[in-house]
Amino acid sequence: DQQVKQNSPSLSVQEGRISILNCDYTNSMFDYFLWYKKYPAEGPTFLISISSIKDKNEDGRFTVFLNKSAKHLSLHIVPSQPGDSAVYFCAATPLDNNDMRFGAGTRLTVKP
Amino acid sequence: DGGITQSPKYLFRKEGQNVTLSCEQNLNHDAMYWYRQDPGQGLRLIYYSQIVNDFQKGDIAEGYSVSREKKESFPLTVTSAQKNPTAFYLCASSLSGAPNEKLFFGSGTQLSVL
């Protein structure tokens, strides 16, 4: 029962261009959404989050957009850099219990 | 340097054998978690603990056991009852266990069956 889906297993973009990673969810009880980044041989690290009361959150080159009606969120990286090459996981959780769900991840490759 | 340490990096299990994966944190976090990652799937929660001597089952707890005798340590035992143990295991912690807290992850243990 995959409540959080990242339908693109991989994405390749040119350095300097925008990277857009997408995530869809099915559970309308999710209130809080997070993105994690994972390099090979390392654990995932937190990147950015957004609450369901907002539709956008920005942190430097990273922006997360939330469309609650469509149950869709996206992570934008502008401009993309080769060091951004990693696997990106989307996660979602309700706020009234500990039930965080993760997507399968999207492998981003940024080419110089 | 504060962080989460998982050991070993690679572990092999024989049929019928129990194996234990270690997870230690020096972040002074109350909550700790164990996740399993299989190819093409998201992380799935095995067990979590929000306080010493207390833990709750996640979605896929069958065939696994944990203990939380110290705040810093949350070892996971993969028992012989777990019929498909080959996976990548990630330990994580968070400050208090509130649902919207970010998780801090270890580097993981790859478990394979001989």
Within 68-87 of B, beta carbons closer than 8 Å to A belong to: none
pLDDT-derived band at B114 (thresholds 50, 70, 90) equals confident
Average pLDDT of chain A? Answer: 95
User: Radius of gyration over alpha carbons of chain B, in Å?
Assistant: 13
- B39 near B27, Cβ under 8 Å? no
Average pLDDT over residues A20-27: 97
Average pLDDT over residues A2-9: 93
Average pLDDT over residues B5-22: 93
How far does the CA of residue A86 sit from the closest CA of chain B (Å)?
14
More confident residue, A40 or A77: A77
Note the pLDDT tens digit of each residue in A55-97: 999 999 999 999 999 999 999 999 999 999 999 999 999 988 7
**pLDDT over threshold 80, residue B2:** no
SS3 A110: strand
Average pLDDT over residues A13-27: 97
Residue B57 has, within 13 A of its CA and on its CB side, a CA count of 7
Average pLDDT over residues B33-50: 93
Question: Count of A–B CB contacts within 8 Å?
Answer: 60
User: Which pair of structure tokens corresponds to residue B73?
Assistant: 């340590």
Asked if B112 has any chain A CB less than 8 Å from its own CB, the reply is no
Asked if B63 has any chain A CB less than 8 Å from its own CB, the reply is no
In 3-state terms chain B splits into helix, strand, coil percentages (rounded to 5) of 0, 50, 50
**pLDDT over threshold 70, residue A15:** yes
- A93 near B101, Cβ under 8 Å? no
Beta bridge partners of A101: A92
